[in-house]
């Protein structure tokens, strides 16, 4: 599951994995456990480049797993050849939630996100619109795209059952 911060990757990934009886992996949590630090700590202490290298490392590790549903961080598809790695390792679904919904979710979110921390609603809109424009070409390399104001677990489950029947026959 890929897409911008706040699009619902982790929530939808969790529902999908429980419906398909697969293991769910949140790449950000996996990274934090492996490096014994939170993402805000890594950004603050080592900077974004170091975070991206760690993100790439965990992505390579997770790409070798079978029978898992993975939700990546919003930036993961947009660095190195991560998108190619993901597309080769599995099926990528881009959750394409519109900007207004992303902003309202991010404003109400409890998770600390270093890239948007401390931004006013106006700054956040400008930032998200600009970043989405840069990231969209990467996201759009996904095998499947689900679009909406809100994407529901049933939408994702249906897509996977329709498009990947060989992988959901359990
Ligand atoms: C990031 C998104 C975050 C996390 C990090 C950077 C990004 O994950 O990986 O703060 O670059 O968009 P979520 O998309 O789960 O918020």
Please give the distance, rounded to the nearest whole angstrom, from the Cα atom of residue 28 to the centre of ligand 1.
8
The residue whose CB lies within 8 Å of the most ligand 1 atoms, and thus the one to mutate among 13, 72, 74, is 74
Atom of ligand 1 nearest to the CA of 55: 9
Please give the distance, rounded to the nearest whole angstrom, from the Cα atom of residue 5 to the centre of ligand 1.
6
- Cβ neighbours of residue 115 under 8 Å, at least 6 residues apart? 5, 75, 127, 131
Residue 169: pLDDT band (50, 70, 90) is: low
Evaluate if residue 170 carries a pLDDT over 80. Answer: no
Distances (CA, A) of 14 to 66, 75, 76, 86, 110: 16, 19, 18, 18, 18
Q: What is the pTM of this model?
A: 0.96
- What mean pLDDT value characterizes the chain? 95
How large is the average pLDDT for residues 25-41?
Answer: 98
């Amino acid at each position: 599951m890929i897409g911008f911060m706040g699009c619902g990757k982790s929530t939808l990934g969790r529902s999908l994995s429980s419906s398909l009886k697969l293991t769910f992996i949140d790449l950000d949590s996996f990274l934090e456990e492996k490096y014994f630090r939170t993402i805000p700590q890594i950004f603050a202490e080592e900077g974004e480049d170091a975070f991206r290298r760690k993100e790439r490392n965990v992505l390579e590790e997770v790409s070798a797993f079978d029978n898992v549903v993975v939700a990546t961080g919003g930036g993961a598809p947009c660095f190195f050849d991560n998108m190619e790695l993901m597309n080769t390792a599995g099926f990528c679904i881009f959750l394409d939630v519109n900007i207004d919904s992303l902003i309202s979710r991010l404003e109400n979110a409890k998770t600390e996100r270093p890239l948007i921390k401390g931004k006013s609603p106006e700054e956040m809109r400008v930032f998200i619109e600009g970043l989405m424009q840069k990231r969209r070409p990467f996201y759009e390399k996904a095998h499947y795209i689900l679009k909406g104001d809100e994407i529901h677990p049933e939408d994702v489950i249906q897509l996977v059952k329709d498009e990947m029947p060989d992988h959901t026959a359990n």
